Amino acid sequence: MKLRFEQLPNHLQQGLQPIYFLSGDEPLQLGEAADAIRAAARAQGFAEREVMHVEAGFDWNTLAAASNTLSLFAEQRLIDLRLPSGKPGKEGGAALADYAANPPPDTVLLISSGKLDKNAAKAKWFKALESTGVTLQVWPVEPAQLPGWVTQRMRSRGMNASPEAAQLLAERVEGNLLAAAQEVEKLLLLYGDSAIDADQVEQGVADSARYDIFELVDTALLGDTARVARVMEGLRGEGVEPILILWALVREIRAMEEMAWEVEHGQSVEAVMKSRWVWQKRIPAVRAGLRRHNQRRWSQLLRRAVRIDRMVKGAEPGNPRDELLQLALLMAGMRVV
C-alpha cells in the first residue's frame, strides 16, 4: 500500500499495518512520519521498542533473530530499523523480502530510509514490503508551494497567517522545512494562537545577522548608497560570511531580472509584484529597483555576482567583500569605477 504524507494521520486511526517503509531526503516530514507511527504504536500497546542501525558490517540476521524472538513473548514490540543509505544490498534485500513474506504477529517493523534510487521501486524487497505493509515517500516542498505549507502549518497550531506573512516566512527559511517549523513554533510562543501578519514575522523570525542582510538588499533597491555602505560595514564587523551576503544579493538580483523581463513584455509593475507575492512593506523598494534598472542591467549584475562567487571560492583573485560592496552600490544606482 502506498501512502502520501498527508494521508498518514487518518490511516493510523484505522489501525497499524505490520510494516512501514518511510523514505526520502526531507528530514522534517520523514521524522514526523516516523514519530506519528511510533506514537500510534505506543497508544495501541506496542510498549517495547528495539532500534537497529544499518551501517557497514550490519548483520541482517539480527532482524530475523529479533522477529523469531518476539514470538516467544506476549509483549507487542516495535522494531525501529534505520537505513540511511536507502540501499539494503543483496543480503539486506533478501532479509527484508523474507521478513515481509511472513511478518511475526504482535510486531510492527518501521523502516526509515534515505532517498531511494530510481531502481528501488522495481526491487523484489521493495515490492514485498509494499504488498505486506505501507510505503511512504516524502519529497522536498517546492519553493512555489512553501507559502501554502507555512499557512497550513500555522493553521495546525491555531494561527492564521496572512498571505504576506506566509510568503515572508517562506523566503526567510529558503525551503528548509525544519527551519520553517522551528520559526512557526517561535511565532506561536511570541504571539500565541492568533492572526499573524508580515510585520510580526519580520520581528520574530531569523537571527539578527540574516535580518541585516535582508535590510542590505532593500536598502540597495531603494538607492540609499550611503546606508548601503554602513550596513555592509556592520555586516563585516559582525563577521557575516561573504557567501551569505552574496546569496541574499543574488537571490534578489535574479528575482528583479525576472520581474523586469515581465514588465518589459507588457505586464504592469503592480501585476508583476502581486503575482510574486511582494509584501506591502517591500513594494517601494522593489518598485524603485525596477524603475532604476532594466532586465539587461539586472542580467549584467548577475554576471558580476558569478565572478564574485568564484572569488569567494578561491577560483579567481580579488577581495570578495570589496566586490560585494560594489555590487550592492551598483544595485543602488551608483557608478563604480
Q: What digits encode the pLDDT tens for the residues 29-85?
A: 999 999 999 999 999 888 888 889 888 888 999 888 877 765 445 478 899 999 988
Residue 207 pLDDT more than 60?
no
pLDDT value at position 121? 79
Same fold, 2-138 and 143-204: no
The arithmetic mean of pLDDT across residues 235-253, rounded, is 89
**In whole numbers, what is the pLDDT of the chain averaged over residues?**
88
The CATH class, in words, for 143-204 is mainly alpha
pLDDT value at position 172? 77
The arithmetic mean of pLDDT across residues 245-259, rounded, is 92
Residue 336 pLDDT more than 60?
yes
pLDDT value at position 170? 86
Look up the CATH number of domain 2-138: 3.40.50.300
List the grid coordinates of 160.
492564521
How do the domains of the chain map onto residue ranges? 2-138, 143-204, 208-331
Q: 165 near 200, Cβ under 8 Å?
A: yes
pLDDT per position as a tens digit, 88-147: 889 999 999 999 998 988 899 999 998 888 788 788 999 999 999 999 999 888 777 889
Residue 294 pLDDT more than 70?
yes
Read off the pLDDT band of 208 (50, 70, 90). Answer: very low
- In eight-state DSSP terms, residue 17 is -
pLDDT value at position 177? 85
The domain made up of 208-331 has a fold known as: Zinc Finger, Delta Prime; domain 3 (1.20.272)
pLDDT value at position 71? 46
pLDDT value at position 337? 54
List the grid coordinates of 12.
493510523
The closest alpha carbon to 196, from 169, 214, 172, belongs to: 169
pLDDT value at position 281? 80
* Per-residue burial over 82-107, b = 16 or more CB atoms within 10 Å of its CB, e = otherwise: bbeeebbeeebbebbbebbeebbeeb
Residues 6+ apart with CB under 8 A from 31: none
Q: 192 near 210, Cβ under 8 Å?
A: no
| Whole-angstrom distance, CA of residue 37 vs CA of residue 265 | 51
Q: What percentage of the chain reaches a pLDDT higher than 90?
A: 48
pLDDT value at position 174? 66
Q: 9 near 37, Cβ under 8 Å?
A: no
Task: Please name every residue paired with 21 in a beta bridge, in sequence order, or none if there are none.
Answer: 111, 135
Q: What percentage of the chain reaches a pLDDT higher than 70?
A: 95
| Whole-angstrom distance, CA of residue 107 vs CA of residue 50 | 11
Read off the pLDDT band of 209 (50, 70, 90). Answer: very low
| Whole-angstrom distance, CA of residue 83 vs CA of residue 160 | 38
pLDDT value at position 206? 54
Cα separations in angstroms, 189 against 184, 193, 196, 201, 270: 9, 9, 12, 12, 35
List the grid coordinates of 266.
507588457
List the grid coordinates of 65.
533473530
